[in-house]
Chains A and B, each alone.
Chain A
Amino acid sequence: MKTIWLNLPVKDIKESKEFFKAIGFKENPRHKNAEHLGSFYIGENNFVLMLFPENTFKGFAQNEISDTQKGTEVLINIDAQSKSEVDTMAKTVQKAGGKIFAEPGESDGWMYAFGFEDLDGHRWSMLYMDMEKMPG
Chain B
Amino acid sequence: MTPKQIWANLGVENIERTQEFYLALGFKQNGTPSKDLVSFLFGEDAFVIHFFKKEKLKTSLEGEVSDLSQGNEIMFTLSAESKEEIHECIEKVKEIGGTIRFDPRKDRKSFYDDNGYYVGVFADLDGHLFNLFCNLNK
Contact = CB atoms under 8 A, between A and B. Distances in A.
Contacts of B76: 4-7
A21 to B, nearest CB: 11
Contacts of A59: 109, 111
B1 A23 contact: yes
B91 to A, nearest CB: 15
B79 A3 contact: yes
B102 A123 contact: no
Interface in A37-71: 42-45, 47, 50, 57, 59-68, 70-71
Contact of B71 (A67, A77, A89): A67
Contacts of B57: 75
Interface residues of B, number: 50
- The contact size tier of chain A is 35 or more
B31 interface: no
A42 to B, nearest CB: 5
Nearest to A78: B3
Interface in B1-31: 1-11
Contact of A62 (B5, B8, B101): B101
Q: Which of A1, A7, A24, A102 has the most CB of B within 10 A?
A: A1
Contacts of A85: 1
B112 to A, nearest CB: 10
B137 interface: no
28 contacts: A1-B79, A2-B81, A3-B77, A3-B78, A4-B77, A6-B77, A43-B3, A45-B47, A60-B119, A61-B129, A61-B131, A62-B102, A64-B71, A65-B73, A66-B72, A70-B70, A72-B61, A72-B66, A73-B73, A75-B9, A77-B6, A78-B3, A89-B1, A101-B62, A115-B62, A122-B74, A123-B61, A123-B63
